[in-house]
Amino acid sequence: MTPDQLQRASDLLWDAWLEPRCLAALPDDLRPRTREQGYAIQQRIERRSASPLDGWKIAATSKAGQAHINVDGPLAGRLLRERVRASGDTAPFGRHAQMRVAEAEFAFRMARALPPQSRPYAVDEVLGAVATLHPAIELPDSRFDDFTIVGAPQLIADNACAHYFVLGEASPETWRALDLVEHRVNGVVTGKLQREGKGANVLGDPRVALTWLANELSGLGITLDAGQVVTTGTCLVPLEIDAGDHVRMDFGTLGAVEVHVL
């Protein structure tokens, strides 16, 4: 794809995000055929933000999630600072709201940067660069009519279905000694729905998911910067939501995070 095609594809997705409206797919001449082309389109969405990039999200970190959107592995997306909320804040539901779900996620804030390198980062190496762990909620959405059929390159171009993100307070430092694989999380949509999940649903271990992200960026020549947040994918079956709902994700000893959906 030429730079002009990449920019035009980005413009279509950005306009659809803001209006909001949905696309059946990107036009054939603007449609990415590879993950790399998808990330090149996604990068141009970042340039629209008035603030430094807040961090990164990972989509499709469970086998069920991958099967649902017909991909064979995780996808990375950018967290734009304008779309980040603190626990207890409100987030708009959106007029088209394709996905209509809330996800409970382990999020890590980086203490130091992990630049691209020739060898893969190891889990311990990545954890050594982490400052804090946070409970988080992602409210994903898509700019496509049916995000389950457009394929990985277009989903990556669509910022891996990023929309709004809610970050809780930092967990106690004792998180480093916990078994995050078996750590339980309870998600509640007040008066409607409750589900439980655990860290094993996130690529087998949220720390492994974080390491995947560091290596995905490294392969793209991108630095995971100090101060950025990485949210690692849902650890429970996403909770169906609607306008007016209150969502709370309880991570036990790691804290809780909540959001009001308008």
Q: What is the CATH number of the domain that holds 252?
A: 3.90.850.10
* Total domains present in the chain: 1
Q: Please write the tens of the pLDDT for every residue from 153-210.
A: 999 999 999 999 999 999 999 999 999 999 999 999 999 999 999 999 999 999 999 9
pLDDT at 95: 63
Model-level pTM? Answer: 0.97
Q: Please write the tens of the pLDDT for every residue from 131-144.
A: 999 999 999 999 99
Name the residue range of residue 247's domain.
3-261
Average pLDDT of 115-128? 98
Q: Which residue has the tokens 């959906």?
A: 261
C-alpha–C-alpha distance, residues 151 and 70, integer Å: 7
C-alpha–C-alpha distance, residues 45 and 192, integer Å: 35
Token pair belonging to 46: 């970042």
Q: Which residue has the tokens 């970042």?
A: 46
Band of the pLDDT at 82, cuts 50, 70, 90?
very high
